[in-house]
Amino acid sequence: MDTLQNMRAFSCVAQVGSFTAAAVQLDTTTANVSRAVSNLEAHLQTRLLNRTTRRIALTEAGKRYLLRCEQILTYVEEAEAEASDAHARPAGQLKVHSMTGVGQHYVIDAISRYRKTHPDVTFDLTMANRVPDLLDEGYDVSIVLASELPDSGFVSQRLGITYSIVCASPDYVKAHGIAQKPKELLNHSCLRMVSPVIPLEKWLFDGPEGQELVNITHAPFQVNSADAMNAAISSGMGVGVLPIYSAIEGLRNGTLVRVLPQYRLQELNLYAIYPSRQYLDAKIKTWVEYLRNSLPEILAAHEADLKTHQLLIAN
């Protein structure tokens, strides 16, 4: 039995005073309306309406029940309107996960710019270097870097492509020289990034001679944050791999030197992952669309900046 529909039928009959008029208003038949009220009375084991051939009247129980029905139906209508509005208008809180470096260098700024056009959306951002379980942890969107994603049943949108480069400090280069080929890195103090998502102990380079693999089996220092690695490299501890977003400022201000400028580490995809495409909440839809439209431009600007820096060094 559909109690909610039966409640709607009963409330409508009580308001218009007729099964026939209620049927017209509800776009159904008089028999269906009569059956709905009878089913409701049978379910409650209470007579709600006294019926005669000329008129109907609410019983005392019917009057009390009608008040509750009207309250419930109002709450349901408000809930339905709110849910429908969520599909149409971006509003409410977005719970977002992002890998730490991506969050610090891209996502926080993107949130600031997104909220200028969608001020009714608020954000709860968690940054951690892992791929979360969206359903168990309640995230609306996760933003991750990966070569590829495992089959999770979630929806993913690729936001762009980025890669990492090898860097050292000017003092380290002055004291220890600079590698000309990937294999020569094994003669240097190689600092290692660690990640539960991406295996980073093997440095796979793309360069003039194709792909070359360097396996870093020993490292005097390892850390799980790109910005912490940046600080370690800048202090002269050794040679390390940095994503472009973490390296670019140091290359600009001279605290970092790019090692092996003709080589880059294997490209990684930047993904937005969310639970479902069906009936997508407007705030999720517009946030992912904003990232998909804005991040490639930012990634391209960093790439152009990196090339400009290389030309300045070459000249």
Q: How many domains, in total, are found in the chain?
A: 3
- Tell whether 62 and 116 lie within a shared domain: no
Average pLDDT of the segment spanning 179-198? 88
Classify residue 147: in a domain, yes or no. Answer: yes
- Tell whether 63 and 190 lie within a shared domain: no
- Tell whether 197 and 149 lie within a shared domain: no
- Tell whether 39 and 120 lie within a shared domain: no
Q: Determine how many CB atoms are found less than 10 A away from the CB of residue 186.
A: 13
Classify residue 238: in a domain, yes or no. Answer: yes
Phi/psi region, residue 217 (left: phi>0; alpha: psi -120 to 50; beta: rest), is alpha
CATH number of the domain within which 109 lies: 3.40.190.10
Domain region containing 48: 3-86
Query: How high is the pLDDT of residue 93?
Result: 92
Q: Give per-residue pLDDT as tens, 19-61.
A: 989 999 888 999 999 999 999 999 989 899 988 767 888 898 8
Classify residue 212: in a domain, yes or no. Answer: yes
Query: How high is the pLDDT of residue 141?
Result: 95
**pTM for this prediction:** 0.69
Classify residue 62: in a domain, yes or no. Answer: yes
Q: What is the DSSP letter of 267?
A: P
- Tell whether 151 and 170 lie within a shared domain: no
Classify residue 308: in a domain, yes or no. Answer: no
Name the nearest CA neighbour of 169 among 86, 97, 258, 82. 258
Q: Give per-residue pLDDT as tens, 200-247.
A: 778 999 988 889 999 888 889 999 888 899 999 999 999 999 999 899
Name, in order, each residue with C-beta under 8 angstroms of 234's C-beta and a sequence gap of 6 or more: 169, 250, 255, 256
* Lowest-confidence segment of 213-217, 229-233, 266-270, 304-308 by average pLDDT: 304-308
- 3-state DSSP percent of the chain in helix, strand and coil, to 5: 50, 25, 30
- Tell whether 130 and 278 lie within a shared domain: yes
Classify residue 48: in a domain, yes or no. Answer: yes
- Tell whether 227 and 200 lie within a shared domain: yes
- Tell whether 37 and 97 lie within a shared domain: no
pLDDT at 309 over 70: no
**222 phi, psi to nearest 5 deg:** -140, 150
- Tell whether 132 and 221 lie within a shared domain: no
Classify residue 169: in a domain, yes or no. Answer: yes
- Tell whether 261 and 281 lie within a shared domain: no
- Tell whether 11 and 153 lie within a shared domain: no
